[in-house]
Structure formats: C-alpha cells, structure tokens
Structure 1
Amino acid sequence: RFSLYEDLTVNENIRFYGGIYGLSAREIKNKTNFYLKKLDLENSKDNILSSLPLGWKQKLAFSIAVMHEPKIVFLDEPTSGVDPITRRQFWDMIYEVANNGITIFITTHYMDEAEYCQRISIMVDGKIKALDTPKALKMKYNATSMEEVFLKIARINVKR
C-alpha cells in the first residue's frame, strides 16, 4: 500500500510530503495546486483521505511519490484492488512520469500489465529466469501474451 496519512486531508497530505521532500513553500503551493487540478481533487482537497475511494488514494499517492522528481520509484502491485478504468488511468500516469525521465520499477502478478512495461524481469522461485522486452520474450518463448510466457517459464522450472 501507499503510505499516505488517512487522518489528514488530501491537501494536508500533499503539503506534508512536499515538506518531507524538502520542497520550498512556493514549490509545495504550486505542486499542490497542480496535483489537485490534475487529479480532479479540487473539490475534495479538504476531505479526510480515508473518505476517498481506493483508486483516488492510489493516484494521489503516486503523484506525491513523484512530486519531488526522484530518479527512481518502486511500485509494488500499484493497481491491486482498483477498477479497470482507474487501472488504465494509473498506467497513463506511469507512462507520463516515465516519459519525463523517472525510472519506474513495478512488481505485478497481472501479466497483461507486464505488457505495458519496456523491460520485464520474470522471477520464479525467487530467481530471475527471464529479462527482456515483452516483444522479445514472446518471440523467444513462441507466445502470444506475457501470461503464456510466464506459464512456459514456470513449467520449465517445475520440470527441472
């Protein structure tokens, strides 16, 4: 899960993390206004975070995690538990951030989501068994989807 404070408002969470990240008061104000507008949370800025739907919280948490423009962000199952529309919106956000130069590492059990990544590492029994682009992995394993690639790799390792 993302680490936001459920008992703070949307606005307070953005400002709090902006301060932790060492942003200036001006940067915090600008980023707060930017994210409230971008995430369509302007009317919810004074709502306690716990009152928001899970998908909104996850999009807000991701935005806060990148507001200080880190070089790398790790996301563990970032779309778990959200509806398909929010899931797609979240991936659009990931693409936007990645296109701005931030490296995103994602763990997921959703193999269809792995298709969205530029490079994939497949682990079986705690060991990396494949590392390449989705297209190259599908070609190598004569598969039409990443789920099929994973199943073939997992079966190969089960037989050994």
Structure 2
Amino acid sequence: MWLHLLCSSLLLITTAIIFSTAEDISTFQSIADGETVVSTGGTFELGFFSAGASKSRYVAIWYKKIPVATIVWIANRDTPLTGSSGVLKVSSPGILVLVDQKNTTVWSSNTSSSAQNPVGKLLDSGNLVVIDGNDNNDTEKYLWQSFDYP
C-alpha cells in the first residue's frame, strides 16, 4: 500500500516537471540562428531556414512533426538575412526585432501597448505571440501576434 502511494506520488511529481519544462521551451527572449523554439504540444517550431540552395535566411514557423518542412509563416519574407548570424529578440516594450551580424534591424513587429517583462511564445496553434511574462493569468492578452500578419 505505501509502495503504491510512493510510486503514484513520484509519477505525479515527474509529470508536473515534464509539463513545466515543455511550457518553458515555448517561451523565449531571444533566438540565434541555429536555435529553435518548439510549441508546448510539439506541433510547431520557430527558427531560421534557407529556401533550397539560397544563402538568404528567414525566420519562420513550420510544422515540426511533418518530415518535409512545411512553412506556415515567415517574419522577414521581404527582407532576408544574408549570412547565418541573425538573432530574433524581444525588446522592450514588447517588439520582436530581427537583427543581422552588425546588429542592424532587418525586420520588426509593432505593438500598441507595453510590458514590463515581454517574452515571445510559440503557441500550439502555430501563433507566435508576444506577451507580458509577468502576467501568467491572462494568456489571451497579446501585445502582438503573427496571426494578424499572415
């Protein structure tokens, strides 16, 4: 009986740790070329890619579980990076900024409000959002979302 309770407790604790770790993976403050962010459920992935043999680099969201990359959204479709040293970061007051190796802004989002602790988050719907990391109770309060910019 006690062994059963102990095993059940350990299983619950382990499950809680796994779920909290998965949630943390979906939020970010910056991503360098070569790094990715995966949505909580593992459906989508955000990162840098090149189309075919091109050396141009783009920030995009694609389906993670499909073997052939299926892109669903591209941030800098009109202004590709040259080289692989780009960084996507969340700046204050909650704007996504893509910079090149010279720290020159290549692409940026916009926002009409600000946050004390802005973070990016890739949702399992494929929506990339900027939220206030201090406002954990209101996950629908987006400072910016990619769904508004298809």
TM-score of the superposed pair, with normalisation by structure 2 = 0.27
Larger strand share, 1 or 2: 2
TM-score of the superposed pair, with normalisation by structure 1 = 0.26
